[in-house]
A and B are shown apart, each in its own frame.
Chain A
Amino acid sequence: MLTVNHYLALSGILFVIGTVGVLSKRNIIVVMMCIELMLNAVNLTFITFANYLNDMTGHLFVFMVMAVAGAEAVVGLAIVVALFRNRETLNIDKLNILKN
């Protein structure tokens, strides 16, 4: 039988996978996918708690997070397009002009 704890563990694991991906992946597009994974892991947590507490706030929050994630992805993509036009690379390690 699946309990609340299973869902929470799943979302926790997804969140950690996303975090590790953001910190370790070198391709910007993959990094953005990992960010989406983190946000959706949190959505799963919200839905789980909302269902467990029988409360609507969690559902409301998920809608908001979805809209925010969409807007964030679009701005991120726009930044990547602008960057690619100037630098022709998607590798994060090659972005190193800003340093002392």
Chain B
Amino acid sequence: MSQYIPVLFMLAVAGAISVGMVLASELLGPKFKFREKMEPFECGEVQASSSKQRFSIRFYLVAMMFIIFDIEAVFLFPWAVTFQALGVFGFIEMMIFILILAAGLIYIWKKGVLDWE
């Protein structure tokens, strides 16, 4: 366990510095309170509208398409790692896989899923 003592020490120092900074500014700094500053998003910028609003249905469509095409990438990573070992066979297999995905992309494109308006 002894080799971890420096890490613990560093954690303690980091904690002390951050707590100390917050405390110091709380105790020493000037305080001006006004409405905008007390809001959750406190850069002094006035909120445009409430965040509890409905999202456009388009958002869900884009989210769904993102999930599908994003998840398919998990199969590309192992292929990329063993690309050399798999050789031409693996390359052709993966091209077929990507072609199938491309067919899906063409389909949703022509169906108008990618048009925001």
Chain A contacts to B: CB under 8 angstroms: 63, 66-67, 70-71, 73-74, 77-78, 81, 85
Contact = CB atoms under 8 A, between A and B. Distances in A.
Interface stretch (B9-17, B21-29, B67-75, B87-95): B67-75
If over half of B's interface residues share one DSSP class (helix, strand or loop), that class is named, otherwise mixed; here it is: helix
A77 B66 CA distance: 13
B60 A67 contact: no
20 contacts: A63-B78, A66-B71, A66-B74, A67-B71, A67-B72, A67-B74, A67-B75, A70-B67, A70-B68, A70-B70, A70-B71, A73-B67, A74-B64, A74-B67, A74-B68, A77-B60, A77-B63, A78-B64, A81-B57, A81-B60
A55 B16 CA distance: 46
B42 to A, nearest CB: 30
B64 A77 contact: yes
Contacts of A70: 67-68, 70-71
A74 B70 CA distance: 12
Interface in B50-84: 57, 60, 63-64, 67-68, 70-72, 74-75, 78
B60 A71 contact: no
A63 B68 contact: no
Contacts of B60: 77, 81
